Structure formats: C-alpha cells, structure tokens
Amino acid sequence: MKTTLFAALIAGALAFPAVTNASEGPKLPAQKWSFDGPTGHFDRAQMKRGWQVFKSVCAACHSAHQLYYRNLVELGFSEAEAKQIAAGDNVPAGPNEAGETHVDGQPIMRPAQPSDKIAPPYANPAAARAANNGALPPDLSLITKARKGGADYVHAILTGYKEPPAGFQLQAGMNYNEYFAGHQIAMPAPLVEGAITFEDGTNATVDQMAKDVSAFLTWAAEPELEERKRMGIKILAFLLVFTALLFALKRRIWSDVH
Amino acid sequence: MADHTTTAGHGAPHGSHGDEGDSRRDFLVLSTLTVGAVGAGLAAWPFIDTMNPSKDVLALASTEVDLSPISEGQSITVIWRGKPVFIRKRTPGEIAEAKKSLGGDKDPQADDKRTKKPEWLVVVGICTHLGCIPLGQRTGDPKGDYNGWFCPCHGSMYDTSGRIRVGPAPRNLDVPPYEFTGDTAIRIG
Amino acid sequence: MSSEFKNPVIRWIDHRLPVFTMMEHSAVTYPTPKNLNYWWNFGSLAGIVLVVMILSGIFLAMNYTPHTSLAFDSVERIMRDVNYGWLLRYLHMNGASMFFVVVYIHIFRGMYYGSYKDPRELLWIIGVLIFLTMMATAFVGYTLPWGQMSFWGATVITNLFSVVPIVGDYIVQWLWGGFSVDNPTLNRFFALHYLLPFVIFALVALHLVALHQHKSNNPTGVEIKGDRDTIPFHPYYTVKDAFGLGVFLLIYLGFTFFAPNFFGEPDNYVAANPLVTPAHIVPEWYFLPFYAMLRSVPDNFIDAWGILPIIISAKAAGVCIMFGSIILLMFLPWLDTSKVRSANFRPVYKWAFWLFLFNYILLGYIGGQPPEGAMLTIGRVSTFWYFFHLLVVVPFLGKYERTLPLPESISAAVMAKESK
C-alpha cells in the first residue's frame, strides 16, 4: 500500500511541472460545455448555430484551413446541404486547357465541392495582412487547442471587449479586450447583438453567439472528441475487468510463495 | 506454454497448485487469457485500419462530370480514383457500328449492356492487357482498325464500344460504375 | 536440453535454432529473486511501452510527410481523415510521456536499491545510454509535427552545439543542413526518429543480456545464494508484470482518451513560423530538470572568477553542466563505494536519496518557470545540489555511513518479514 502511494506520488510529482507552467493573464470565466467531461458530446443544434456565426462573421477574415465542406455532414447537415453550402463558395479552378490560372489578372474560379477545403477569405497571408492593417487573422481550425483555456478562451475573447480603464494607453487601430494578452487586440469586437438571425429561432445575444461559435470551433479542432470519449469509456471498463482478473490470478499464483 | 516441470528445488514448487482449488484456478486462468486475447485482438484493429483508405481518399472516390460541353464525336478523359476514364459522345455512325455486332470473339457483349444512353460511352481507359493507356482520345491519334482505341504497347484494338477486337488484351475496356445525375451530368463511382 | 519440449514441431525447430530454449531460459524458468516489489515492474513495463511506441510510430510514419510545407497538415490529416489516426497519434504522444515516467521510476528504483553496484556496472551504463538515446529520439520526434514548439525547440537545442570551441558554428550548420532549422533539418530528424528506436531496441537487448548474467537485484540488495531465494519467472513474474501492465494501461489510456493534450503545449497546434517566437519556449516536461540546469549559470558568476571567461562562457558552462549531469550518472557505480546496496539498510543514504529525488522534481518545476528572481536562485541551488549529491554526498556516505545489519539471505529476509 505504502509503495503504491509512493508510486502515485512520484508519477504525479514528475508530471507536476507540466501542469503548473506559468499561467499568466486574467482568469477565464469557466463556461459549461456539452463536450466537457468523460461523457461529453457535441450539441448538434449548437453546432449548426456556431457554423452560422462562423460563416457569417468570423469567415470574413479568418480561415479554417483544416476543414472540408464534407465535414459539415458531421455537424448534422445532410449531404445535399453540405454540397449546397460548398457550391456557394468559389475555389481556384487550377490551370485551364491553355495552362492559364488567371484571366485578366483574376484567378479562374469554380464552385467548391464537398471534397474541397473550406475556402479561405484571403488568397495568402500577405493579402490577409494587407486587408487588416498589417494584422494577420489566425487560422481558426485549431484555435481551441492552440490557446490555453480552449473554448473558454475563445468565448472570453469574444465577450471581453470593454472600455479601456482610465490611463490605459491604447494604440491606434487597437481595441481593448479584458482577456487578450496585453489587452490590446487588433480585431474589433466582431459580435453585435442581433447581427444574425438564427435559423432555429434562438435569441442571438453576444453571449449566445460567442458560446455557439466557441463550441463549433471546439468541434473544428477536435472532431474526434465524441468517438474518443465513447471509445475510452468502453476500453477503460474492459481494462478494469481485465486488471481485476489479473489481480485475482496474481494473488492466487503467489499464494504459495513463502 | 512450457512443457516442463523442472521447478523442483525452488522455494515455491508448482506442485502445490495441483492439489486444491485446481478447477477454480483453471477457470481464472482461462477467463483471464480469454479476456486478454480478446483485448489484444481488438487493440490490433485500429492499427490495421489506419492502412485502409482514409476519409479524404474516400471523399474523392466518386467524380462528377458535366457532359454538356462535349460535342458529338468528341472525347474527354477524366481522372477517377487515380485512373483515366474515357467519356465519348458517339456519332450516330459509331453507335450503329457498335450495335451491329457483339464485338470480337474474346469477350462478346452487346453495346446496350455497356452504355446507359447510346450516345455516351464511358469506359476506364486502361488496356486490359498490361495496363497501358490506349490511344484514340485526341484527333489525329491512331484509332485502330475498328475506329475505337489502339494500344501502342502491344497493338490491341478496341471498337467504338470499347470492346477488344484484335490483339493480346483479354477483355473489353471496363465500364466503371456510374449514373446520370441529370441529362448531361454523371457521377462515376 | 531441447528434448524437453513435447511438441515435435517445436522440438524440431529448437534442435536447429534454439530460440525456444532461449525463451524458456530467459522468461520461463529464469530464476528471479522471490522478494521483488512492485518497483521492479517498471523495467518490463518500459520494454512494453517501447514496443507500443515503435508500432504506433510505424503506422504514423505511413501517413506522415516530412516536409516543412506539408508536415503540420499531414499530422492534422492523421488526426482527422486517417482511420483511427487520432488514436495512434495520441497513443504516440502520450506514450512518449509515459515512457519517461516509467523510465524515471526505473532509474530512481535502481538508485534507491543500489542496482548499479558491482557486478552490474555495465547494466547501469547501458541503461544510461538507453536514457540518452530516448532523449535524442524524443527531441527529434517532437520536431516532426512542425508546430511552433517543434520549430523553436529544435532551434534552441541545436543552437546549444554552437558552444563547442572553434567548430561550434560549423557543427550547428551541419546539424541543420542549412542556415536555420528548415526542410533539410526536418527531413533528417524524421530519418533519425525512425532509426533511433531500433538503436534503443538493440541497447535494451544488451541491457537484458547484462541483466541475465547476474540476475535481478532485489530489495535487500543481497545476492541470490541458492534455489530457496528464487522463484521461476513464469508464472510468478509474468502474472505480476501483467497485472502491473493492466494498472499502467488504465493510466496511460486514461490520458490518451480523456486528456490527450495534458502533457502537450498549446503552441504546438500553431504551425511553425520562423518569424515569430512563442512567448514562453518550454521543452517537454521530461526535459525540464535538464533545462533548469542549462539556465542556471549566471553570466556574472563566471566574471567574478576572473580567469574563467577566457576559456568558457556562461552559455558553454550551462551546456557542459547539462550534458555533464547525465554523463556523471555513468560513474555512479564508482562514486558510490558503499558495500551495502539497498537503501533499506543505509539509514543516512535513504534520506539523501529522497532529498535527491525531491531536488530533481524541484529542478523540473523550475525548468517550467520563467528564469527570473527567486526561481533562478532556487534553480542554482538545486543544480548545485544535484552535483553535490553525486560527487560528495554519495562517496562520503559510502565511506562513513554506519549501515544496518544485512539479512543472511533473501529467503531469510522474507521469513523474517512474514513472522512479524
């Protein structure tokens, strides 16, 4: 017993530094998410709303490079709907028979297909900077994994726009955000109450939109989450039985060692 | 397991197991081994499955083709699952030629078994002999004696229905699975 | 001997190729001290984790592209599109951390019970070589996903070699295959990451040969004196190791399925960008103690000594201390002159050991903090203590410590424990 305790202690202690890496910045308000916990899952209605927010607000400046239109089927859209959404965007068609990719300086485009990646708002990072006062809107497909706090962080940023406190030196073109490192963020507050009308009739408050799009972005970053947790529970249950059997067998085999 | 009983002299001989509680231990051993074997089997599957076609590959398993720009007597080549597919809008003469017979002796087949609409011929453009790409798609290509396709590798000749007529190829050009999604649109695969 | 097998096919093969006899001797009848506690599970556990890492790694390699413009996306393709790709990737990621947890426990167990002592010096040294190779493997492997931490970790660590006198800059360029960490670097790191695990595998084979020569040490540190002290490896230790494996898998898979990024850094989910350095570059947790030692040498410390700066810079001193801390471990069998192996019978060394372990964990904590203020001071004291323990405390105790009386034999110790 004593030894097991020590083992746990040392394993924990060795892993300790990983957890306590200096966490700077203000504490993020923790939200309740359907995907939290060992039985977490995505709320399909929320996913669809989140996609609507992403598509009509975020996607104007941010790409979601890792996502394909076909992935929308996992959100609860039908294949036909995914195809229709894809067809609404244009992607570069590639060289035509004459070997041209551009005509009159404009790229030759074709409607996107489900097998295409979701079309980015800008052709390249330089174009993105040029259109945003030199700031580069980050790709959002992994944003909840790429920031400490995940969905809580995205939600906090989206709802964290405030008047700067007295005496705060805000640089030109920057915006004050309570939860952004250094509090100066190039992105102006993107969500305005009622800016979009949710198809399912949900009231589009800033908080609601921020929650929905954060949930959507969590799915975008971890589309395997549901399968992972479902599988994990089964496998751990199986292992628990197996380990118990091994423990019984071990006790029995060792019973004659003196 | 080991076929031996050479534990004599060790502090804890095996023998003592055999006397009492034998059946219970056997049951325990058996169930533990069974559960372990099942677990090992299940654990192997994800590893094996990673080598199966992935989602991005499967997403490209079917190809949609708009036929409207193709005029009579014209052929296009599209790529489907990494292979060339010949799509030809046949002329009435070619259709008549194709319907006249069942093709050669090697692989006789009626033309309407090979097409969904008589004017559209859709075949996989790979010679059934050794996998070369037959000529005949572009104007000026040799089309062989039967006005279809000619394989430059070993001289196989295909007719206007893509059937083998002369040469070493054993079969007609394969017809891929496809369906019309509109009057002039098909989905292959 | 081969006639012992009843199965004619096995007997036929074994007569010509005695693999079954070998297996029989090393994993079935192999006489093992009967008093090994659960700390002795971690050796075989490490072997199993190595196999899991190699297997998952091979299947990942089938889907990975070692090119700067494709690597990050190819990893994401594994996570999203490859069947069970996410599972393999998370198994591999968390497996690396688990490998180090298991091996760290294995190493400290060896230190506590004096398993490195005569005649097991080479067994210990091969072990240190395995540890070094593991670190190299983990380091090049961490570069492969080509995230921000991958890129900057590779940049910082390869730059360490610039402290080598005269040819340092040349060596760094040679490591990179260019003028910065770039595509040639990624390519060779991938090749090395595929190679090194098999080097580890070979070293593990040698480790086992050395182990089987003089058999396992045990909690009393008293050598095996006769058959009464041992039990056959199978079924006793096969079942005990299997049970330990079950417990280990519960923890390992618990992380893999429910907190797969617990040991990771969010910045590595941002694709590598040579123009932007993340705010805090932190190595993976298992490198943190060494990272703390690297950063512990102050600039003015050397200036104060006056003569040293001519031959060695603070940066070079840090690098020497870091590598020296591992190399020094190889000399442990000779630094520790105590006749008694197990700390159970060494009342003072026992405390020195726990202090050393605590100090090591503290170093790990410091390594994860920004090198400022109190953290820096504590880091320096801790680094000092690491070396002081190995170079002074251990030799001193070996000479002057008054040890407790040893049991006559392993079986006598077991009897005494049971009669209590």
C2 and C78 in a common domain: no
The predicted pLDDT at position C382 comes to 96
pTM assigned to the model: 0.89
Q: Do C355 and C248 share a domain, yes or no?
A: yes
Average pLDDT per 10 consecutive residues for chain C, totaling 420 residues: 77 94 91 96 97 97 97 97 97 98 98 96 98 97 97 93 88 95 97 98 97 95 94 95 97 97 95 91 93 82 55 79 94 96 97 97 93 88 96 96 95 87
Domain match, C150 and C23 both: no
Q: HEC states along chain C?
A: CHHHCCCHHHHHHHHHCCHHHHHHHHHHCCEEECCCCHHHHHHHHHHHHHHHHHHHHHHHHCCCCCCCCCHHHHHHHHHHCCCCHHHHHHHHHHHHHHHHHHHHHHHHHHHHCCCCCCCCHHHHHHHHHHHHHHHHHHHHHHHCCCEHHHHHHHHHHHHHHHHCCCCHHHHHHHHHCCCCCCHHHHHHHHHHHHHHHHHHHHHHHHHHHHHHHHCCCCCCCCCCCCHHHEEEHHHHHHHHHHHHHHHHHHHHHHHHHHCCCCCCCHHHHCECCCCCCCCCCCCCHHHHHHHHHHCCCCHHHHHHHCCHHHCCCHHHHHHHHHHHHHHHHHHHHHHCCCCCCCHHHCHHHHHHHHHHHHHHHHHHHHHCCCCCHHHHHHHHHHHHHHHHHHHHHHHHHHHHCCCCCCCCCHHHHHHHHHHC
Residues C19 and C120 in one domain: no
Where does the pLDDT of residue A20 fall: very low under 50, low under 70, confident under 90, or very high at 90 and above?
Answer: very low
Contact B39 A242 (CB under 8 A): yes
Q: For residues C174 and C169, what is the distance between their CA atoms, to the nearest angstrom?
A: 9
Nearest Cα to Cα of residue B40 among C348, C245, C288, C293: C245
- For A249, the closest of B28, B56, B60 (CB atoms) is B28
In this structure, the answer to whether residues C24 and C38 fall within a common structural domain is no
Residues whose CB falls within 8 Å of the CB of residue B14, separated by 6 or more in sequence, listed in order: B5, B7
- Taking the Cβ of residue B54 and every Cβ of chain C, the question of whether any pair is shorter than 8 Å is answered with yes
Q: Is the pLDDT of residue A104 over 90?
A: no
Query: Are C241 and C198 in the same domain?
Result: yes
What pLDDT is attached to residue C420?
A: 75
Indicate whether C96 and C14 sit together in one domain: no
B3 to C6: CB separation less than 8 angstroms, yes or no:
yes
Nearest CA in chain A to B27: A249
The answer to whether B149 and B134 have CB atoms below 8 angstroms apart is yes
Give Cα separations from A78 to A71, A83, A86, A88, A114 (angstroms). 11, 9, 12, 16, 11
C63 in contact with B at a CB cutoff of 8 Å? yes
Tell me, what CATH number does C373's domain have?
1.20.810.10
* Same-domain pairing of C225 and C201: yes
Gap between the Cα atoms of A77 and A106, Å rounded: 32
Q: Do C68 and C148 sit in the same domain of this protein?
A: yes
| The two structure tokens encoding residue C80 | 């999203």
Q: What percent of chain A has pLDDT over 70?
A: 90
B63: which strand partners? B188
Please answer whether residues C158 and C280 qualify as being in contact, where contact means their C-beta atoms are separated by less than 8 angstroms: no
CB of C269 closer than 8 Å to CB of A142: yes
Same domain, C268 and C331: yes
For residue C235, the chain A residue with the least C-alpha distance is: A253
Cα distance between residue A15 and residue C97, in whole Å: 9
Contact B11 A258 (CB under 8 A): yes
Q: What is the pLDDT of residue C300?
A: 60
Q: DSSP character for A187?
A: S
pLDDT (tens digit, 0 to 9) for every residue of chain B, 189 residues total?
A: 334 433 333 444 444 444 445 565 588 999 999 999 999 999 999 999 999 999 999 998 888 899 999 999 899 999 898 899 999 999 999 999 899 888 888 899 999 899 999 999 999 999 999 999 999 998 888 888 999 999 999 999 999 999 999 999 999 999 999 999 988 899 998
Number of C-beta neighbours around residue B139 at 10 A = 9
CA angle B83, B86, B92 (to 5 degrees): 165
Domains contained in chain C, number: 2
* One domain for residues C3 and C88: no
Whether A246 sits inside 8 A of C79 (CB atoms) is: no
Chain B residue numbers with beta carbons less than 8 Å from the beta carbon of A70 are: 55, 59
Smallest Cβ–Cβ distance between B29 and the set A70, A114, A249 belongs to A249
Q: Which residues of C are the active-site residues?
A: 212, 216, 240-241, 284
Phi/psi of residue B140, nearest 5 degrees: 100, -15
Cβ of C105 within 8 Å of Cβ of A10? The answer is yes
CA atoms within 13 A on the CB side of C181: 23
Distance from CA of A147 to the nearest CA of B (A): 27
Domain residue limits at C226: 34-419
Instruction: Say yes or no: B3 contacts chain C, CB-CB below 8 A.
Output: yes
Q: Which residues of A touch B56 (CB under 8 A)?
A: 68, 115
> Whose CA is closest to C101, among C45, C157, C37, C139?
C45
- Asked if B50 lies within 8 A of C82 by C-beta distance, the reply is yes
Return the structure tokens found at C366: 């410091």
For the beta sheet containing B157-159, the strands, ordered from the edge strand earlier in sequence to the opposite edge, are: B147-150, B157-159, B164-166
CA A186 from centre of chain = 20
Chain-chain contact of A257 with B11 (C-beta, under 8 angstroms): yes
Would you call C372 an interface residue with chain B, using a CB distance cutoff of 8 Å? no
* Contact status of A240 with chain C (Cβ, < 8 Å): yes
For position B104, what pLDDT does the model report? 82
Task: Judge whether residue A6 has pLDDT over 70.
Answer: no
Which of A251, A252, A254, A258 is the best substitution to test chain B (most B C-beta atoms within 10 A)?
A252
Instruction: Kindly state the tokens that stand for C390.
Output: 């190995």
Residue contact A242–C246, C-beta within 8 A:
yes
In chain B, residues 68-127 whose CB comes closer than 8 Å to chain C: none
Query: Are C339 and C228 within one domain?
Result: yes
Which of A14, A223, A246 has its CB closest to that of C246? A246
CA distance B146 to A216: 59
